[in-house]
Structure 1
């Protein structure tokens, strides 16, 4: 059995990266299009979700998708409840010694004060109980910062930590993801405000409480070094944020101690029509390049 403590140690100390396979209903059509599946190839939401599940199954079950390079996977709720080879997806991952996380946010509010806060997360406690029963180790939730706006940034960070404390109380480890839009005009100024707000909230956590941070690759290399080394931070992940895989890897390699949690950068060159050999080779190349950037 792959225990919670073993998973905790692996996320904290392990060499590798996190695969983000958590596209939700709103982003699934775009993800499928990138995979080479157009909207006229499915007639309803049920077929759409089956196609994305088939894609994720193809990725997760590939021989290159192994514990040697992959530390964990972030899942969409429907994927968490799905099967691979008649095995629940979290169990399938745990059997491969890969740590399963669950995306719990329900999307974003409209832009206000330079940010998009998360929408309310209904029945969160019940969903966390179910996730834990299925073997989920932690959660992920995303909000986005677009402008240099102190009040908005403070609200985003406070909201992330507020939900994070509920998740910690349920016995799960939260990934807090206050994304900075890579096209933001004042990106470096935003990152300075964001780091200040995060440090303030980290200082309010209890002694035994630890979180994971998932942050946009910063404009200044090693800008988040003090977060990487913070006693209340289990690990810092980086999101690709729309960068292509070469750019994302180049930027990641400049940030010591930060590991990837990529989605588009990992999956972008995978196509539905590829043969199994082509698919596996393409996935292996992406995994290897992201792994090398994560351990540099």
Structure 2
């Protein structure tokens, strides 16, 4: 393990005013996205869509890295340049999603466990040769009647730490993503309690499995009300609850926290990040690792053929979130656009 390489890469991933584009949708997930705009889910269309995103002029000013799906890592842009090289030439770090998705947790079928550890050591060698310098593994924690159980939280935390250890062994920075879903009817207080339990378990496992905290990036949910909760917390309450939870459970040795958007609206995801950065100073850099909150507008504008409109929408959201990552966003910028 080359500690210096891991530390330098992790710090670059959370550089001020830049964040991570999560473009790692599986073939099944991107089919849902394409269906919403009437585009057929084929390999050429997936390649063309990602080409549109990655060739957006200027997006690299606000984007430190891109998480790729395995298929995309080995594809080339429309001009023939391998996608990892295209990104690296722009100063954007290529990354790779390495988990194999979720399955029902044995003994607690209403909860989920993430799979993909088998053969991961060998796959990481292949991914590194293709240009990946960081990886991502997502664990899913569901709030519901009697859940999450400690069993689910600790089993997923253990898998996250095993994944992280294998990544660091290969000099690949692990993004550790424990996502508490926001799909239920729970209050923000319940989300805060569950997020705290989850982060406590995750960092306990990371320590046990000898993870270099300076050589990783955390990708957590923000502390929000469940989508079906009749009373939705306002933006300041979300920012305060999220920071309170992170300060309790995330060691200062972690260089940065790159939030997932988790189904928030584009503007809410940006506003929450901006508010938290305005509440500093903080022990870690706060930035974004958004999928839908960076891509939804671009996907709709692209529509399968309008490349320039797609690029314009992508650049706007990248810029808004880049400003939020520096605590410099203003709602008036959205209205002006």
Deviations 1:1-41 (A, max 9, x none): xx87754441244431100000012212112234x134xx3
Q: 5 Å matches for 1:184-199?
A: 184=184, 185=186, 186-199=190-203
The answer to whether the 8 Å contact 1:69/1:288 transfers is: yes
Map Cα deviations across residues 102-130 of structure 1 (whole Å, 9 max, x no partner): 00111101253763111234421221101
Deviation, structure 1 residue 189: 1.6
Residues 153 and 5 from structure 1, CA distance in 2 versus in 1: closer, same or farther, beyond 3 angstroms? closer
Listed as ranges, the gaps of 5+ residues in structure 2 are: 225-240, 278-284, 328-337
Partner of 1:267: 295
**1:204/1:12 CA distance change after superposition, 3 Å:** farther
Which residue number in structure 1 is paired with residue 38 of structure 2?
37
Q: 1:118 to 1:250 in 2, by over 3 A?
A: same
Q: Name the structure 2 match of 1:243.
A: 264
Deviations 1:169-207 (A, max 9, x none): 122111111111012423222111012112322433547
Q: Does structure 2 conserve the Cα–Cα contact (< 8 Å) formed by 1:14 and 1:71?
A: no
Residue aligned with 1:87, SS: coil
CA deviation string 1:133-184 (max 9, x = no partner): 1221111011210033222111111110011111111221111111110124
Instruction: Answer yes or no: is 1:234 the counterpart of 2:265.
Output: no
Give unpaired runs (5+ residues) of structure 1: 43-47
Which 4+ runs in 1 deviate beyond 6 A? none
Please give the secondary structure, in 2, of the residue aligned with 1:255.
helix
Contact 1:114 1:149 in 2 (8 A): no
CA distance 1:5–1:83, change in 2 (3 Å): farther
Aligned residues of 2:14 and 2:286 also touching (Cα < 8 A): no
For the 8 Å contact 1:228–1:258, the answer to whether it is kept is no
Residue 75 in structure 1 maps to residue 76 in structure 2: no
**Within 5 A, what are the aligned runs for 1:112-191?**
112=108, 115-147=111-143, 148-184=148-184, 185=186, 186-191=190-195
Moved more, 19-28 or 267-276: 267-276
Would you say how many aligned residue pairs link Structure 1 and Structure 2?
A: 284
Cα pair distance change 1:88/1:269, threshold 3 Å? same
Aligned residues: CA RMSD: 2.2
Whichever structure has more helix as a proportion of its residues is: 2
Higher relative contact order (CA 8 A, sep 6+): 2
The 1:6–1:169 alpha-carbon spacing in structure 2 relative to 1, beyond 3 Å, is closer
Q: Which residue of 2 aligns with 1:45?
A: none
Distance 1:277 1:214 in 2: 30
Larger displacement relative to structure 2 (194-203 or 79-88): 194-203
Taking the aligned partners of 1:161 and 1:25, their CA distance within structure 2 comes to: 26
Q: 2:317 aligns to what?
A: 286
Q: TM-score normalised to the size of structure 1?
A: 0.87
Residue 59 of structure 2 aligns to a residue in which SS?
coil
- TM-score scaled by length of structure 2: 0.77
Deviation at 1:221, TM superposition (A): 3.2
Q: Within 2, Cα distance between the matches of 1:5 and 1:92?
A: 23
Q: Residues of 2 paired with 1:56 and 1:191: CA distance?
A: 32
- CA distance in 2: counterparts of 1:92 and 1:188, whole angstroms: 40
Structure 1 partner of 2:18: 16
Query: Separation in 2 of the partners of 1:261 and 1:207?
Result: 21
Q: CA 1:53 to 1:269, structure 2 compared with 1: closer, same or farther past 3 Å?
A: same
Q: Is the 8 A contact 1:90 1:136 kept in 2?
A: yes
Shift of 1:228: 5.7
